[in-house]
Structure formats: C-alpha cells, structure tokens
Amino acid sequence: MGAGHAHPLYRAGTSGVHGLPPQCKLVAVVAFVFAVVATPQEQMWAFGLYALLLAFVAAFARVPPGFVLRRMAIELPFVAFALLLPFVAHGPRIEVLGVGLSHSGLWSAWNILAKASLGAVAMILVGATTEPRALLLGLERLRMPALLTQIATFMLRYLDVIVGEMRRMRVARASRGFEARGFRDVTVLARSVAALFLRSYERGERVYLAMLSRGYDGRMPVLNEGTATVRQWTAAAVLPGAAALIAVASWILAP
C-alpha cells in the first residue's frame, strides 16, 4: 500500500517486525506496557532492561534511533508535568543544587518519565513498522467495536481530502490579502473552520449516498480476514514475555 507516499509515523521495511500481523503487535505492545507499569519504581535496573529490550526490537526492525527520538516529542506534555512534580509535591525535601525538592516528587517524576518513555517508544516502534491502515485492521480483528474502527478508517481516508480543502481555503484567503496579524483576525479563521466543518458534513452526506447506492445496509463487509499463525503469535510474545520476566523479578527482588 501507499507506494511512494510515506505516512510520517510509518517507516517502510521488510523486517520480521514489519511482517508480523498487526493484531499480534498490538497485543504485544499492550502486554509490554502492562509489565512496565507493574514494575516498582525503585527497581531502576528493570527499566534499563526494558529499554534494552526495545533497543533490540528497534535494531531488529531497522528503525534508526534518530527516527524514534524525534517522534518522542509526543511525550513532551507528560515530561513537563513530571518535571513540575519535585517542586510541588509534599513530604520530606532534599537539597539539590541549593533548591529544595520533594523526595516523593522526585520518585514520581522518575516513575512517570521512565514508564511514559518506555510506553511511547514501544508505540512508536509499532507505528514505525505497521501502516496506519493495518493498525485499524488489527483492532478490527481484535474485536474492537466496528463503529469505532469505521470512524477511524474514514478519518484516515478523508484526512488528506480535508487538509487539501483547508490548504485551498488558506491560499484563497491569502490571495485576497488576508494575513493573520492579531487576535481580531481570529474571527476570519473561525469562519474558515466553520466553512470547513460544513463542507465536510456535506461530503459525509454525499459519501453516505454513494455507500447506499452500492448496497450498504449499516454493516461494512469484512474484506480483510487475516488470522495469525501460532508461530507469529509466539514471535510477537517474545518482547512482552521477556518484559513479564523482568517485572516478576523486580517484585521478587524488591525490598
């Protein structure tokens, strides 16, 4: 699919990770995240091992570190929140570089940072090795309610169309001398957004008519039945399996 048109999150490849059915990868990544979240924050070595596991997966999937790091920007809001915690949390304080920081706040910040980063990297790796369309198929095969996957599928299909319309409207505005200068211009932009909403709404109606015309009766036909083999499930289980072992060990070794 998508010859020559890469999605920003997806990185085409032929690795074993790319080849796994999407439903296997989704289950694997969720299981991995559960293992990470279940690990006590004091067991720092465990988080190092998780990171190492992900690094192995990335290397195996031939996803370069820079690709992953740039996309970790998605995590920034959480990072900002985590960095605030040592300053605002209660409890005994310790002195760092002359600033009094909350002891429990520091641990919470570390906890959020470590777990969120590991989760984000795992998700980025799934996104990098699975096309958006395939992810939705995976969700469908995992019995996600059809209505939700249908909405997401349509969003994926029409995102480019809507962005294209938005771009044309911007060009039309600029061609008639409009430049957003200050807050007052927000009304112009708001009207554009309203127009875009109406256009999209009308398109939705036309698409629905086209669907009815081809026999749509409220259920999407299932066109992509793909079952994963035991072998593929086993391969996908390697990452969460290893993570689960680490999580169990971290509890056993916990003081």
Partner 1 sequence: MTTAASLEIKGLAYAYPDGTQALYGVDVTIGRGERVALLGPNGAGKTTLVLHLNGILYGGLGSVHVGGLAVDPKDKQGLREIRRRVGIVFQDPDDQLFMPTVREDVAFGPANLGVRGAELDRRVAGALSRVGMQDVADRPPQHLSFGQRRRVAVATVLAMEPEILVLDEPSSNLDPASRRELAEILLGLDVTVLMVTHDLPYAAELCPRSLILSGGVIVADGPTLELLSDEELLAAHRLELPFGFDPAIRHS
Question: Which residues contact partner 1 by CB under 8 A?
Answer: 1-5, 133, 136, 153-154, 156-158, 160-161, 203, 206-207, 209-217, 221-224
Residue closer to partner 1 (CB basis): 107 or 158: 158
Q: How far is the CB of 213 from partner 1 (least distance, A)?
A: 5
Q: Do 41 and 110 touch, CB atoms closer than 8 A?
A: yes
How far apart are the C-alpha atoms of 67 and 70, rounded to whole Å?
6
Which single residue is written with the structure tokens 């959480």?
78
Q: How far is the CB of 246 from partner 1 (least distance, A)?
A: 37
Quickly list H helices, 72-102. Answer: 76-88
Strands in the chain per DSSP E:
93-96, 99-102
Residue 187 or 213 having the CB closest to partner 1: 213
Q: Which is nearer to partner 1, 92 or 221 (CB)?
A: 221
Measured from the CB atom, the residue of 84 and 159 that comes closer to partner 1 is: 159
Are residues 93 and 103 in contact, defined by beta-carbon separation less than 8 angstroms? yes
Minimum CB distance to partner 1 smaller for 48 or for 164: 164
Nearest Cα to Cα of residue 150 among 226, 216, 227: 216
We find the least distance from the C-beta atom of residue 218 to partner 1, in angstroms, to be 10
As a whole number of angstroms, the distance between CA 199 and CA 167 comes to 14
Helix (H) or strand (E) holding 247: helix 230-252
Shortest spacing between CB 74 and partner 1, in angstroms: 24
* Count of beta carbons in the 10 Å neighbourhood of residue 246: 21
Judged by beta carbon, residue 190 or residue 198, the one nearer partner 1 is 198
Q: The tokens 């990470």 sit on which residue?
A: 36
SS3 64: coil
Place of tokens 């390697």: 238
Closest approach of partner 1 to the CB of residue 221, in Å: 3
CA distance 119 to 111: 12
In angstroms, the Cα distances linking 58 to 55, 64, 69, 115, 118 are 5, 7, 12, 18, 13
Closest distance of CB 117 from partner 1, Å:
31
When the beta carbons of 45 and 154 are compared against partner 1, the nearer one is 154
Shortest Å distance, C-beta 135 to partner 1: 11
